[in-house]
Structure 1
Amino acid sequence: MYTFLTTSPWADYELIDAGNFEKLERFGKHILARPEPQAIWDPHLPASEWQRANAIFTREKGSQERGQWKIKPGTPEQWVIGYERPDGLKLRFRLGMSSFKHVGLFPEQDPNWQFIYNQTRQRRATQPRVLNLFAYTGAATLAARAAGADVTHLDSVKQVNFWARDNMEASNLDGVRWLVEDAMKYVRREVKRGSKYQGLILDPPAYGRGPNGEKWQLEDELNEMLKLCKELLDPEDHFFLINLYSLGFSALILENLIHEIFPQARQSREIGEIYLHDKAARKLPLGTFCRFAV
């Protein structure tokens, strides 16, 4: 049976509406309209409500990702929002409007940040070692660090690591190990070294490049990556989380891989979809996930 995860109420974020391949969101005080390929239905709100957004992203002709923001006067290009949960997890994130429509945060990952925080605190190790691969701006990294983990944060883009460091400082945290590396190369080296981790987090893209032009293609690399990750996990004490955003990449594929590679996780694993719900209670799917703890 599949699990469906969604974001719990959050003062500084809400999905207001979605439809016509767009989504309307509030981050703190600012409302943004940007593309969303999964939102194939009609919007619930009238166009006049969408036009009130502080910033609207328009794609370049012929591009699914690149474009530019039309920003209303008085709207900052960067700002900070808060994040606080009853379990004690409290973070702050610096947001900014990129030319690829992203703002530096994926709010649908809220339930996984809570999973990381709580699972890190439940490890038997005094200071659990956690490796975050394809770590982007570091929300998952900070969830683990806030719970006391010794965290290695790896991303192939140097500027993204700087952004993650800003989030760390805004959250009054420190001590994260930052790496600008190709994930596959690093994991292979760690396996050869005999390294072990009590937590592994993966958020791989459908396609990407390492810092030296190394090619990453999800369907070509994921099987080997998961096999290597199995070698890195402390066999007696660990948690594991993977998110996949690739359109059309079925949860069944992920289930088959996890079933074959991590048989020890059969009793505790959750596999399914992550979604956000708008004010009209429509569910916007935003990827598949698997997580478990031993």
Structure 2
Amino acid sequence: MNETILSLSPQHWEDYELIDTGGFEKLERFGAFILSRPEPQAIWDKSMSDQEWKDLASAHFSKEKNNPEKGQWNEYKKIPHNWQIKYQNPDGLKMTLNLAMTSFKHIGLFPEQAVNWDYITDTLKKLPVKNPKVLNLFAYTGASSVAAKAAGAEVSHLDSVKQVVTWSKHNMESSGQDGIRWIVDDAMKFIKREVRRGNKYHGIILDPPAYGRGPEGEKWILEEQINEMLKLCAELLEPEHHFLILNMYSLSFSSLIAANLINSSFKEVNNAEHGELYLIDRFKKKLPLGIFFRFRKL
């Protein structure tokens, strides 16, 4: 397998900016609002003072002492319950994405994933297939699904949380798209059924969490299940014209692990790229935000 090792950061954001990082936090602008959130990888010092952060921030997220995964937002300036930002790239992708502050510090968007939205758009425009079928697993609020739909794909979007799928529908509608197939299910159960049915996809997008639960309490542990899942995906991928994107956020994983997993699961891997996704702040500090592996056969 020929492969390229890359570090990728988005190039086309206007409505998003990473302002500063450090002290286990990040300061970000989402449209008209600036948010301060925990960031476990930002172990260095901030470039700006705490007072400068507070002066800029519209809201700050504070973690609960007994549950670091949950917390509350402290608003310094009035923020609407929901607001929108836009993303577009030179290939013609235009999306309007809906944001909201949740009790898990997330706001419905992972901005570093813009590099993969660009990749999806570019790949589908070049794929010599009419109405290619794309499966988005662990699809969260669906920006990748909307990007694939906008590029002409028949998209199946799967997440285990019904409220998140509803959020994804709003993103589709706000972006002027329709016709995405929505699935609330456990990802592993679903792809096993798809393999038994003999279904095939031209594109598969996987963005699995380190830990998660299916709609009926099914347990997902990345290290224990990703190998089996990739082997099933190999059976679902169309052999002639295809692409696959794998994102992983576990702090203990490197892109070399992703490469080994892909190599052991897929017989043929073309135009492979893997490495780190990152965002860069105003002070040129690079914040790593997960690893990726992607390949395509056009």
**Shorter-normalised TM-score: what interval?**
over 0.9
Q: CA deviation at 1:123?
A: 1.7
Q: CA deviation at 1:264?
A: 1.2
- 2: distance between equivalents of 1:190 and 1:244? 23
- 2: distance between equivalents of 1:217 and 1:74? 38
Question: Which AA in structure 1 matches 2:106?
Answer: H
- 2: distance between equivalents of 1:63 and 1:15? 26
1:233 to 230, 233, 237: 237
Note the alpha carbon deviations across 1:157-182, whole angstroms, 9 max, x for none: 00000000000110010000000000
Unaligned runs of 5+ in 1: none
Query: Partner residue of 1:147?
Result: 151
Provide the aligned C-alpha RMSD in A: 0.9
Query: Partner residue of 1:249?
Result: 253
Question: Which AA in structure 1 matches 2:285?
Answer: R
- 1: distance between equivalents of 2:29 and 2:176? 24
1:183 to 187, 191, 199: 187
What is the aligned-residue identity percentage? Answer: 57
1:126 to 120, 130, 134: 130
Query: Partner residue of 2:265?
Result: 261
Q: CA deviation at 1:259?
A: 1.6
Secondary structure of 1:291's aligned partner: strand
- Work out the number of aligned pairs and report it: 293
TM-score normalised by structure 1 residue count: 0.98
Unaligned runs of 5+ in 2: none
Matched, 1:40 2:37: no
TM-score normalised by structure 2 residue count: 0.96
Q: CA deviation at 1:73?
A: 4.0
Query: Partner residue of 1:18?
Result: 21
- 2: distance between equivalents of 1:159 and 1:185? 20
Q: CA deviation at 1:249?
A: 1.3
Query: Partner residue of 1:31?
Result: 34
Question: Which AA in structure 1 matches 2:275?
Answer: G
Contact 2:12–2:89 (CA<8 Å) still a contact in 1?
no
1:110 to 103, 107, 114: 114
Question: Which AA in structure 2 matches 1:268?
Answer: N
1:198 to 182, 197, 202: 202
Question: Which AA in structure 2 matches 1:292?
Answer: F
- Pick which of 251-260 and 35-44 moved more: 251-260
2:83 to 79, 83, 107: 79
Contact 2:59–2:77 (CA<8 Å) still a contact in 1?
no
Secondary structure of 2:199's aligned partner: coil
Deviation beyond 2 Å, 4+ runs, structure 1: none
Question: Which AA in structure 2 matches 1:19?
Answer: G
Query: Partner residue of 2:164?
Result: 160
Note the alpha carbon deviations across 1:101-153, whole angstroms, 9 max, x for none: 00000000011000011111222221000000000000000010000100000
Query: Partner residue of 1:276?
Result: 279
Secondary structure of 1:2's aligned partner: strand
- 2: distance between equivalents of 1:2 and 1:45? 32
Q: CA deviation at 1:263?
A: 3.9
- 2: distance between equivalents of 1:9 and 1:87? 11
- 1: distance between equivalents of 2:283 and 2:121? 30
Query: Partner residue of 1:221?
Result: 225
Note the alpha carbon deviations across 1:15-71, whole angstroms, 9 max, x for none: 000000000000001000000000000000111221020010000113322000011
- 1: distance between equivalents of 2:68 and 2:112? 21
Query: Partner residue of 2:177?
Result: 173
Secondary structure of 1:259's aligned partner: helix
- 1: distance between equivalents of 2:120 and 2:17? 22
